[in-house]
């Protein structure tokens, strides 16, 4: 199962890096973060395409978006001091629960 999800996890990691760099690029006015954005998103989509060989697109996108939201929220808090209020944290908790339900109980997910 890990082998199946490894490209998806790489895609999510690269997407989080690219999104974090997007914030740091200051609307593409800083060179290094701007390069990270382009390379990160390119790599993310490459690895997502590999993941889609084994994982249905709906499941892959649910995991991609759910984990991406959780991770980028954490990065925003740690790196940029962007705090979340209680409703935002509850909503993110629901997203995490949804990703968990899809992966543990769905027959559509690759197990």
Query: Please, are residues 12 and 64 in contact by the beta-carbon 8 Å criterion?
Result: yes
- Res 46: pLDDT: 98
Query: Please, are residues 55 and 103 in contact by the beta-carbon 8 Å criterion?
Result: no
17 membership: H or E segment, kind and range: helix 2-24
Mean pLDDT over the full length of the chain: 93
pLDDT in tens, 35-76: 999 999 999 999 999 999 999 998 999 999 999 999 999 999
Our measurement of the distance from residue 109's CA atom to the centroid of its chain's CA atoms, rounded to an integer in Å, reads 17
Query: Please, are residues 54 and 4 in contact by the beta-carbon 8 Å criterion?
Result: yes
Rounded CA-CA distance 16/69 in Å is 9
- Res 107: pLDDT: 81
Rounded CA-CA distance 3/8 in Å is 10
Q: Which two tokens stand for residue 30?
A: 């800083």
pTM of the entire structure?
0.87
């Amino acid at each position: 199962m890990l082998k199946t999800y490894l490209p998806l996890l790489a895609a999510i990691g690269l997407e989080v890096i690219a999104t974090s760099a997007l914030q740091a690029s200051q609307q593409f006015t800083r060179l290094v973060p701007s390069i990270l954005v382009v390379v990160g998103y390119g790599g993310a989509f490459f690895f997502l395409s590999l993941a889609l060989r084994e994982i249905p697109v709906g499941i892959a996108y649910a995991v991609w978006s759910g984990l991406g939201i959780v991770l980028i929220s954490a990065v925003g808090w740690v790196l940029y001091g962007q705090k979340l209020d209680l409703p935002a944290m509850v909503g993110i908790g629901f997203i995490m629960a949804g990703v968990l339900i899809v992966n543990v109980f769905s027959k559509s997910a690759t197990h």
